[in-house]
Structure 1
């Protein structure tokens, strides 16, 4: 499966997955469990498939967050709610959020049920050896409601891709802060937003920039050098290649069909205004091809 197809699928399913971070239904569900603040809810909802793991495991598998940001939420979160209860609340929140954002007619449609089954098949075909978050999500039971099943499937695919991305970064000798600095230098995310939300201080950020300059990857004014551009291209191509197995297993026709169905949902999420300015996940704007397909 070509990298362009793999990347296009991510750009669509990522937006559906991201409802768990930005939809008010998710925030309320975390509050109802007793979670204290946005970040405790974020880490609990995302880490719950792993079980009641310590902060060190979450820090490692999420990769880009400062250990102090994680330690303020985990393991305290498991004292407020067992991971099984968190997973149940996550499903209820996604049921409510998707019904509101997409509309009852859409979530009850044959097209969405078809998308859910195609995405589930792709997610179950994902190769999860060495991919902790992908494997933990893949092992969860199949939700009965098609729209919740779709969300869980794209979440498995998203974490599978993220696990592969981290492996590529490690292979390129790019630590958490270096990886974010290069992402911002490539104009994929806002530097201040990414640094503050991941809780890295300015000194750590400047140290990473200096190290990347020493490697010849950044200019003195913080732009990518040709070598930096090449490393970014290598990371992205490697990430796409590592994420290809589900789509190869699904096949080109079914992948194209699912891509078209997801494009409609992705546009709805984009137009909802839920994704904040600064784009913390680094998604590009909708392409002309996406708009034409939608």
Structure 2
């Protein structure tokens, strides 16, 4: 008898909480010959919502049939759900301006096999990193932005995103404010790194603001992009300790290291389908 080739999947879901959801999901997968390899769930008592992530192997049902059957199953629970094959990396477009520390870090981690991404393109409003892109064999799209051409430039950038079939857009220090329209188009699939521990020190030169206030901790925040500037659902944050002896240049250098690490973790968790949206917050199954 020829052995069945199992495919690995990740199922994420959210729905109104009620008794028996875990049992029902487990039973659904068992009936289709699946083996659960990892599972996590969370009940948000404030919103009454239930969240779950299940990684499983299945060889008895193909992906198309599994999705179809999941659709019927989910209706009974009013579920929002998604199913991903673990063998398929997340198609990604990176966007950057003139500071390349996050871009360089993501490219290195991706090429080292540490991020399950398929980086399809880099978009920038400056030419600074075209050689870096070439060294990783990633197409580089230089799309200048001025006040007069902002709308056209944004349309060109979105065209690149759509042509590449990007499931994820990472603003790796892309210093342009996206329009409300583009934010809506990219809802839930665009991650920004903010060079501050939000909600503190918004706007320009946050490290100068932090230095002026004599803070003892500086940080970085990775969040989903929304039309409300720097107020999207937070995915990851971290801080670094500083003191009065440090200059603003030290603050900035330490901050860049923190930004790179925070963004990398956020991108990793998103690409492993560990982040579920919960209104203006996130649920993260690490």
Structure that is richer in helix per residue: 1
Structure number having the greater strand percentage: 2
Whether these two folds match at TM > 0.5 is: no
With the shorter chain as reference, the TM-score category is: under 0.3
Larger Rg: 2
